[in-house]
Amino acid sequence: MMALKFSEEDFQEAWRELDHPAIQEPWQLFTESMGFQIYRLQDQESGLYQYKVYGGLSDCLPELFADVYMDLEYRKKWDQYVNALREVESEEDPVIYWEVKYPFPLANRDYVYVRERQDLDVDGRKIFVILAKSVSVNHCPEKSGIIRVTAYKQSLAIESDGSSGCKVFMYYFDNPGGMLPSWLINWTAKSGVPSFLTDMEKACKGYNQSTVKTPSN
């Protein structure tokens, strides 16, 4: 088995954002969309932005949200931007291959990444944390006509809002490569991620609890 993909501090850092958002300068409020506040910070190396998203979903319990998020087969049914999504076995831990549909005439992007979920008990609070990052493995070579995203990182922390919903924190960064139009980058940042989270809420309502779930690592 490969070494732990993420450190305990990585998980701690993610859930702390629910209590104490780390959005001091140079982080800047970028937009508010669909009940979420989105902050951004320019990545000096790439010139692209890292994003932090804070908000909540009123009708999705946190454990269900985490289960739906981890279920690759189910995501292919409700996420319209998935062109391929599967777990790939390897001599070490499995990795996930994900191809994302881009609007014509842009090339699709694909990702090879690892992820890990921890269900934490923090002073009686149940907090679900899922971390993901891109990796390079020999058995998932790049494909002609598809741009491989090699810089991808995401953190997600979810807990109950005290009622029938959940509070959500998400950090994400990726470098999609190629020449993307500014309208697409802006749409993804301002609307794409909030739309994904609200689609997740709808997906939670239709989730069959008897569905066979993927391993949570």
Q: Can you read off the two tokens belonging to residue 98?
A: 């994900």
Tokens of 26: 């140079």
> Residue 2: beta bridge partners?
none
pLDDT in tens, 103-136: 888 899 999 999 999 999 999 999 999 999 999 9
Q: How confident is the model at residue 211 (pLDDT cuts 50, 70, 90)?
A: low
Instruction: Tell the burial category of 4 from Cβ atoms under 10 Å away from its Cβ (0-12, 13-18, 19+).
Output: exposed
Distances in Å between the alpha carbon of 14 and those of 129, 158, 171, 180, 217? 7, 10, 8, 29, 17
* C-alpha 46: how far from chain center: 20
CATH number of 8-205: 3.30.530.20
Asked whether the predicted pLDDT for residue 45 surpasses 90, the reply is no
**pLDDT at residue 1, rounded to an integer:** 39
Query: Percent of the chain beyond pLDDT 90?
Result: 67
* pLDDT, the chain, mean: 89
CA dihedral 105→106→107→112, nearest 10 degrees, is -150
Nearest to residue 17, comparing CAs of 42, 53, 45?
Answer: 53
With residue 66 as reference, give the H or E element that holds it.
helix 62-70
Q: Is 130 helix (H, G, I), strand (E, B) or coil?
A: strand
Give the SS3 label for residue 97: strand
Mean pLDDT over residues 8-20, rounded? 97
pLDDT > 70 in the chain, percent: 94
Q: How confident is the model at residue 208 (pLDDT cuts 50, 70, 90)?
A: low
Q: Measured on CA atoms in the order 17, 20, 21, 22, is the torsion positive or negative?
A: negative
Q: Give the mean pLDDT of 185-197.
A: 81
Residue 162: the pLDDT is 94
Smallest CA-to-CA distance from 42 within 175, 192, 190, 134 is with 175
63 beta partners: none
Tens-digit pLDDT profile for residues 67-86: 999 999 999 999 999 999 99
Higher pLDDT, 210 or 77: 77
What whole-number distance in Å separates Cα of residue 75 and Cα of residue 70?
A: 9
Q: Which is nearest to 78 in space by CA: 68, 64, 88, 86?
A: 68
Confidence of residue 4 (pLDDT cuts 50, 70, 90): low
Residue spans per domain, the chain = 8-205
What per-residue confidence (pLDDT) applies to 15?
A: 98
Question: Please, what's the b/e burial string for 194-205 (b: 16 or more CB within 10 A of its CB; e: otherwise)?
Answer: beebbebbebbe
